[in-house]
Amino acid sequence: MSLQVYIDGEYYPKEEAKVSVFDHGLLYGDGIFEGIRAYNGRVFRLDEHLERLYLSAKSILINIGLSLEEMREAVLETLRRNNLKDAYIRLVVTRGKGDLGLDPRKCPKSAVIIIADEIKLYPKETYENGLKLIIASTRKNSPDALSPRIKSLNYLNNILGKLEAINAGCAEAVMLDRHGYLTECTSENIFLVRNGMLYTPTATVGILEGITRSVVMELCEKMGLPVQMSFLTAHDLYVADECFVTGTGAELIPVVDLCGRPIGSGSPGPITKKLLEAFRNLTQSEGTEIYKVASHN
């Protein structure tokens, strides 16, 4: 059976799932999205992802047209229709179909798209051996121009950084702000460890406050590991004992090399390994159930 894709309340086979060429999400990147993961029959941190989606919509004046409860059920039903227990969910809301002009008032109704499919993780070796990163010359968009807290469809800034990483033979690149402070990678947040303390860039520099980033900080608190949100530079990464990146798709991946400099010993560090294990245990036991078994009284 073909993958079923949700579009505006209807389900279509993958091959027939289409949007209008006049959709402003396509024409102008005018829309928002969330990437969400399901593990072991549960959607991990679904409410947090939906809250962020609706806050992004409010910020850019998109009326989603579904209540939060209706959207939650639509996500779960899409997973059910595709018989998925472990999956990646891409939830997209566009401004909708309009004309060739920029005016959002010409788009009378937003479009909602939900795609759920099996997740293709980074290879197992990446988690065992770690990533090599570069520092991109492309600077992160200034937060006073476009708030990074809006998870918008316009990712060209990130893609330019990603192209630099690919051309350098790396999977990821770290992006700096206009003052030279660390922000995040092209699709993940970043942490470093120095003398037993964890550091991550402050939101002030312009980062997406990632759901996985928040989960890692929760785990650190439970495990008694101190975390500090700071203004960080490339030098802080160069001299770090450990480094790792976090994201919905990536989960938690060690970083072992930055611009040809080994991070710490050049191998995944003990704190990174400990947090990765704790994160994976959490994802296997926590979340919104997809397939609820009816109770019989």
Which CATH number is 22's domain given?
3.30.470.10
| The pLDDT of residue 261 is above 50 | yes
| The pLDDT of residue 121 is above 90 | no
Among candidate residues 117, 135, 165, the one where a domain is terminated: 117
Mean pLDDT rounded to a whole number for the chain = 95
> Based on the domain organization, do 70 and 170 belong to the same domain?
no
> Based on the domain organization, do 177 and 270 belong to the same domain?
yes
Cβ atoms of 280 and 292 closer than 8 Å: no
Among this protein's residues, is 151 annotated catalytic? yes
Among candidate residues 85, 117, 149, the one where a domain is terminated: 117
Q: What is the pLDDT of residues 56-112, one digit of tens each?
A: 999 999 999 999 999 999 999 999 999 999 999 999 999 999 999 999 999 999 999
Please state, in angstroms and rounded to a whole number, the distance separating the CA atoms of residues 232 and 146.
Answer: 21
pTM of the model: 0.94
Q: What is the pLDDT of residue 26?
A: 97
> Based on the domain organization, do 183 and 224 belong to the same domain?
yes
Of the residues 151, 162, 222, 274, only one is catalytic, namely 151
> Based on the domain organization, do 100 and 164 belong to the same domain?
no
Mean pLDDT for the stretch of residues 183-211: 95
> Based on the domain organization, do 73 and 173 belong to the same domain?
no
The conformational region for residue 262 under phi > 0 = left, psi -120 to 50 = alpha, else beta, is beta
Which residue shows structure tokens 């980074």? Answer: 122
Residue 136: CB atoms within 10 A of its CB come to 24
In Å, what is the CA distance from 18 to each residue of 21, 22, 50? 9, 12, 23
Q: What is the per-residue DSSP string for 7-36?
A: ETTEEEEGGG----TTBHHHHH--EEEEEE
Which residue shows structure tokens 């008694």? Answer: 224
Q: What is the pLDDT of residues 13-41, one digit of tens each?
A: 999 999 999 999 999 999 999 999 999 99
Domain count, the chain: 2
In Å, what is the CA distance from 257 to each residue of 98, 115, 133, 277? 46, 34, 6, 21
Lowest mean pLDDT among 120-124, 196-200, 241-245: 120-124
Q: Which residue range forms the structural domain that includes residue 141?
A: 124-283
- Model confidence band, residue 295 (pLDDT cutoffs 50, 70, 90): very low
> Based on the domain organization, do 172 and 208 belong to the same domain?
yes
β pairing state of 197-201 and 111-117: unpaired
Q: What is the pLDDT of residue 296?
A: 45
